[in-house]
């Protein structure tokens, strides 16, 4: 592997403190010290993990200096602060990223090699914190990176799951899940802050009482109490002095051991409370785009939201700010509805605990929150059965009723006599079993509501949140997603990043629009040649990785066609694999056909209970297996299913990809962010008019994008007419389905894939057949285009050059300007002198 960003200069002169100096020598010292004093090992006994830990602690010391300086600057200025509330933060490994942001990647690599160790091996020791499912959690990670880079005071608030997203293993072609024990060897990046622990109540009932002034009040008598303990991870800005905080809550029992029970001899009972409390932050729910109406999930959401709001109130106390100014101090962004209970919780804290009048508390609440919606899929919209909700949060249910009564009063006057509208807007769904609608709570309690790509924000207004849009059009807006170029280019694609910096300087990493300056280089034959060599080198690296993981040889000269993302019917991995089978069929039918060799690479996890998604994985693996064993298609067609797709594996695959599959049914993918990572790294997209694909195509130019399929409008029309898949059956598609049903890919088992093929033939809400021909046709164009090497390279360079819009820095600037109104606060680095006690 090449090293990221060797062309970047290191701001060594800034840091003079001996312990945290950024020089190579100081670093070696620190590393060896840590091995002894932190790990308690000497080289003969040290494992690779010991070395990794020693290295991580050496980096952490350097980052703590920035953290303290940042905290000091924010406290002194009483800065307005963004609190990003998210049930998921899919951070990926910290070490490499922190080195990039500190600007010492190169020195550290050298220092480590000079000590006789292999730097890449140490990097690979880190168990990545996989505290998210996919796009939503990764977006949160990119956002906090950008906020730190843009010097925006911010706190990320979430849950410190003991077990993150499961580890996927493929056994006999099927997905199996293993517990993700990422904390097994300790986590050097976090700092426990027990002194800021808070209590969170759950369950029980409410009762009336009279306070000292004889006012009638309501008290929540909880059934149980847990303690939230914060663990802080510093989040560095890129080459500045900012280190913001990611604060994740762990759940603990108030008394870890019940001694009275213990003394009675009930040993099991004595630890039960502790065990129960800890289950709250035990495991991440592995569902993407699908809610799971489980009590524990609601408890998790409330747990982190309550702990976070209480923590923010503590910060106000420390800074001597009155609670009346909560909304001036903090802007809270709700990352989907998972933290939407915050609306009711802030009301409870203000009205019940701080005896604030309702109207004033409501005004503060609405000025505090803003809500981002991330999905249009109905099955992903959170609704809690009323009884379940009441059993966990009895007081909040009362508050929600009160919010609802006042809200519907307003609607009644605005829309005179429109009873149906009242029922549609209500925070409580009263059709049949009653539910609390979390998206409605989020809309009512927020000053701004946004979608994550232009089409998605439009569809929100027209469909899912239409009634709210008609009520408050001014609240609605769009914030197209973005990704951080630090992780997704500098760190993961060092070769390309170096070439780009050589050509246009390195300020593109802070201002991605500067990639435009690459455009003229698309006309430069020598540059194109280097661009190609880099892609090839990345493909060679990736092929070695596949060989090691899957035992399959793939040809770096073939077209690398990649679809990596969660497995879901709406994302249509089955459309892709059906096309692969069609190609296989063509090759077998006409062995001498002119054929552009391709390697189809798939990766992604299926929710453990999502049977159809798991069946799709099995089909992909079955096709991979047959194709690999068939000498007739050898070297021309390969299929690879990459196990356990996560951030680390993503960092390997995006730089090697040439074709990016973004083939969701139009109107279903809210935005997508993988699509942006591919395009930045020079892959061309084959995609539908969906999510951010539309904007990518607009930016890179229609001539540099492979478009196919129905538009969202046509999808809606087709469904409106009553979709009949058989009307779209072609001879080739018929062959494909027959081949699957014949048991060809399942060792004669004709039943194995029936649920899948029957679904496609008779039902299919995702219109796979309707788009199949257009997709196949478009894939032919891809193959033809690939043969014109120079033309393809030009398109690739232009994709990269025109991807500036998709930096999460741009997204965060828009959130800051339009929603948060949070100015940046540059940080001056404190020296030892400044912090003397």
Least separation in angstroms between residue 381's CB and ligand NTF is: 9
What the block records as the tokens of 574 is: 């089955």
Give the binding-site size for ligand NTF (rule: CB under 6 A): 18
Least separation in angstroms between residue 706's CB and ligand NTF is: 20
Closest CB to ligand NTF among 478 and 741? 478
What the block records as the tokens of 700 is: 């890179």
Nearest alpha-carbon partner for 580 in 434, 739, 388, 398? 739
Closest CB to ligand NTF among 10 and 481? 481
Name residues whose C-beta falls within 8 Å of residue 611's C-beta, 6 or more positions apart in sequence.
755
List b or e across 781-794, with b for residues whose CB sees 16 or more CB atoms inside 10 angstroms: ebbebbeeeeebbb
Q: Are 806 and 696 in contact (CB under 8 A)?
A: yes
Query: Does residue 613 touch ligand NTF according to CB under 6 A?
Result: no
Query: Does residue 452 touch ligand NTF according to CB under 6 A?
Result: yes
Least separation in angstroms between residue 680's CB and ligand NTF is: 15
Closest CB to ligand NTF among 142 and 653? 142
Name residues whose C-beta falls within 8 Å of residue 289's C-beta, 6 or more positions apart in sequence.
375, 377, 379, 380, 566, 568, 570
Least separation in angstroms between residue 374's CB and ligand NTF is: 3
Query: Does residue 339 touch ligand NTF according to CB under 6 A?
Result: no
Query: Does residue 374 touch ligand NTF according to CB under 6 A?
Result: yes
Which listed range, 35-43, 222-230, 264-272, 670-678, lies at the site for ligand NTF (CB under 6 A)? 670-678
Q: Are 61 and 29 in contact (CB under 8 A)?
A: no
Which listed range, 188-196, 254-262, 555-563, 667-675, lies at the site for ligand NTF (CB under 6 A)? 667-675
Query: Does residue 481 touch ligand NTF according to CB under 6 A?
Result: yes
Closest CB to ligand NTF among 67 and 815? 815
**Residue showing tokens 């797709």:** 645
Name residues whose C-beta falls within 8 Å of residue 452's C-beta, 6 or more positions apart in sequence.
139, 372, 373, 374, 478, 479, 480, 481, 670, 671, 691, 692
Query: Does residue 573 touch ligand NTF according to CB under 6 A?
Result: no
Which listed range, 32-40, 42-50, 594-602, 663-671, lies at the site for ligand NTF (CB under 6 A)? 663-671
Query: Does residue 139 touch ligand NTF according to CB under 6 A?
Result: yes
CA distances from 180 to 119, 169, 171, 279, 831 (A): 24, 12, 17, 15, 40
Query: Does residue 482 touch ligand NTF according to CB under 6 A?
Result: no
Catalytic residues: 374, 565-566, 571, 673, 677
Least separation in angstroms between residue 373's CB and ligand NTF is: 8
Closest CB to ligand NTF among 288 and 561? 288
Q: Are 372 and 284 in contact (CB under 8 A)?
A: no
Query: Does residue 671 touch ligand NTF according to CB under 6 A?
Result: yes
Nearest alpha-carbon partner for 801 in 491, 420, 489, 555? 489
Least separation in angstroms between residue 335's CB and ligand NTF is: 9
Calculate helix-pair angle for 768-787, 731-741, nearest 10 degrees. Answer: 110
Query: In terms of DSSP H, where are the helices of 38-150?
Result: 48-77, 95-102, 105-114, 119-125, 135-149
CA distances from 424 to 382, 419, 430, 459 (A): 15, 9, 9, 17
Query: Does residue 336 touch ligand NTF according to CB under 6 A?
Result: yes
For residue 641, list its beta bridge partners: 602
Least separation in angstroms between residue 159's CB and ligand NTF is: 15
Query: Does residue 666 touch ligand NTF according to CB under 6 A?
Result: no
Site string for ligand NTF, 233-272 (x = CB under 6 A): ----------------------------------------
- Which residue in 122, 577, 670, 782 binds ligand NTF (CB under 6 A)? 670
Name residues contacting ligand NTF, limited to 380-439 (CB under 6 A).
380
Least separation in angstroms between residue 140's CB and ligand NTF is: 9
Site string for ligand NTF, 266-305 (x = CB under 6 A): ----------------------xx----------------
Least separation in angstroms between residue 141's CB and ligand NTF is: 11
Nearest alpha-carbon partner for 484 in 808, 828, 205, 65? 808
Closest CB to ligand NTF among 311 and 690? 690
CA distance linking residue 186 with residue 164, whole number of Å: 14
DSSP 669: -
Name residues contacting ligand NTF, limited to 679-698 (CB under 6 A).
691
Closest CB to ligand NTF among 252 and 289? 289
Q: Give the Cα-Cα-Cα angle 728, 733, 738 (nearest 5 degrees).
A: 125
**Binding residues for ligand NTF (CB under 6 A):** 134-136, 139, 288-289, 336, 374-375, 380, 452, 481, 669-673, 691
């Amino acid at each position: 592997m090449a090293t990221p960003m060797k062309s970047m200069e290191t701001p060594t002169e800034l840091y003079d403190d001996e312990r945290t100096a950024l020089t190579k020598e100081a670093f070696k010292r620190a590393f060896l010290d840590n091995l002894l004093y932190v790990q308690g090992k000497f080289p003969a006994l040290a494992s690779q993990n010991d070395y990794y830990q020693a290295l991580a602690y050496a980096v952490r010391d350097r980052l703590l200096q920035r953290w303290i300086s940042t905290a000091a600057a924010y406290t002194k200025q009483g800065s307005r602060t963004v609190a990003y509330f998210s049930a998921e933060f899919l951070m990926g490994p910290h070490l490499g990223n922190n080195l990039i942001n500190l600007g010492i990647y190169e020195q550290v690599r050298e220092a480590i090699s000079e000590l006789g160790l292999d730097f890449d091996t140490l990097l690979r020791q880190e168990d990545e914190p996989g505290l998210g499912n996919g796009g939503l959690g990764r977006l949160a990670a990119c956002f906090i990176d950008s906020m730190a880079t843009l010097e925006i005071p911010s706190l990320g608030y979430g849950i410190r799951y003991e077990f993150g997203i499961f580890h996927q293993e493929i056994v006999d072609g099927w997905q199996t899940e293993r517990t993700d024990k990422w904390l097994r060897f300790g986590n050097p990046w976090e700092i426990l802050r027990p002194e800021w622990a808070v209590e969170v109540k759950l369950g029980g009932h409410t009762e009336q009482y009279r306070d000292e002034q004889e006012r009638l009040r309501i008290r929540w008598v909880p059934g149980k109490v847990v303690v939230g303990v914060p663990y802080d991870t510093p989040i560095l800005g890129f080459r500045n002095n900012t280190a913001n905080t990611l604060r994740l809550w762990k759940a603990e029992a108030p008394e870890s051991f019940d001694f009275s029970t213990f003394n009675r001899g009930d040993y099991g009972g004595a630890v039960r409370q502790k065990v129960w409390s800890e289950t709250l932050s035990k495991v991440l729910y592995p569902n993407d785009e699908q809610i799971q109406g489980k009590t524990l999930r609601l408890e998790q959401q409330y747990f982190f939201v309550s702990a976070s709001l209480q923590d923010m109130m503590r910060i106000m106390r420390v800074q001597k700010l009155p609670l009346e100014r909560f909304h001036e101090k903090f802007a809270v962004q709700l990352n989907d509805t998972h933290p939407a209970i915050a609306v009711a919780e802030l009301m409870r804290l203000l009205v019940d605990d701080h005896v604030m009048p309702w109207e004033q508390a409501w005004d503060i609440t609405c000025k505090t929150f803003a809500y981002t919606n991330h999905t249009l899929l109905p099955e992903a919209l959170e609704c809690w059965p009323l009884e379940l909700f009441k059993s966990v949060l009895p007081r909040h249910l009362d508050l929600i009723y009160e919010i609802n009564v006042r809200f519907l009063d307003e609607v009644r006057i605005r829309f005179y006599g429109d009873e149906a509208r009242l029922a549609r807007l209500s925070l409580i769904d009263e059709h049949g079993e009653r539910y609390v609608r979390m998206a409605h709570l989020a809309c009512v309690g927020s000053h701004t509501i946004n979608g994550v790509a232009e089409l998605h924000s439009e569809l929100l207004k027209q469909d899912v949140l239409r009634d709210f849009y008609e009520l408050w059009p001014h609240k609605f807006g769009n914030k197209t997603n973005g990704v951080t170029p630090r992780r997704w280019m500098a760190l993961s694609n060092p070769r390309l990043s170096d070439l780009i910096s050589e050509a246009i300087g390195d300020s593109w990493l802070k201002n991605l629009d500067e990639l435009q300056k690459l455009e003229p280089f698309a006309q430069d034959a020598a540059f194109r040649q280097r661009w190609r060599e880099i892609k090839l080198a990345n493909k060679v690296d990736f092929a070695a990785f596949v060989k090691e993981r899957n035992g399959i040889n793939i040809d770096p000269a073939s077209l690398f066609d990649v679809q990596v993302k969660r497995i879901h019917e709406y994302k249509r991995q089955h459309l892709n694999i059906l096309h692969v089978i069609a190609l296989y069929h063509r090759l077998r039918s006409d062995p001498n056909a002119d054929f552009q060799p391709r390697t189809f690479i798939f990766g992604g996890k299926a929710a453990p209970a999502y049977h159809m998604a798991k069946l799709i994985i099995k089909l992909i693996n079955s096709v991979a297996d047959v194709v690999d064993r068939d000498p007739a298609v050898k070297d021309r067609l390969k299929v690879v299913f990459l196990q356990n797709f996560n951030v680390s594996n993503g960092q390997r695959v995006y730089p090697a990809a040439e074709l990016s599959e973004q083939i969701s049914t139009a109107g279903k993918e809210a935005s997508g962010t993988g699509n942006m990572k591919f395009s930045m790294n020079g892959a061309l997209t084959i995609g539908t008019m969906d999510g951010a694909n539309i904007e990518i195509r607009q930016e890179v130019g229609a001539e540099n994008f492979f478009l196919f399929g129905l538009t969202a409008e046509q999808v809606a029309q087709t469904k409106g007419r009553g979709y009949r898949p058989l009307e779209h059956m072609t001879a080739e598609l018929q062959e494909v389905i027959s081949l699957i049903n014949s048991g060809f890919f399942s060792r004669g088992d004709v039943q194995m894939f029936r649920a899948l093929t029957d679904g496609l033939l008779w039902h299919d809400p995702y219109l796979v057949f309707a788009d199949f021909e257009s997709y196949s046709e478009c894939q032919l164009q891809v193959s033809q285009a690939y043969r014109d090497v120079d033309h393809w390279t030009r398109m690739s360079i232009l994709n990269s050059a025109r991807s500036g819009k998709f930096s999460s820095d741009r997204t965060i600037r828009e959130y800051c300007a339009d929603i948060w109104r949070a100015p940046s606060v540059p940080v001056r680095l404190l020296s030892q002198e400044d912090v003397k006690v």
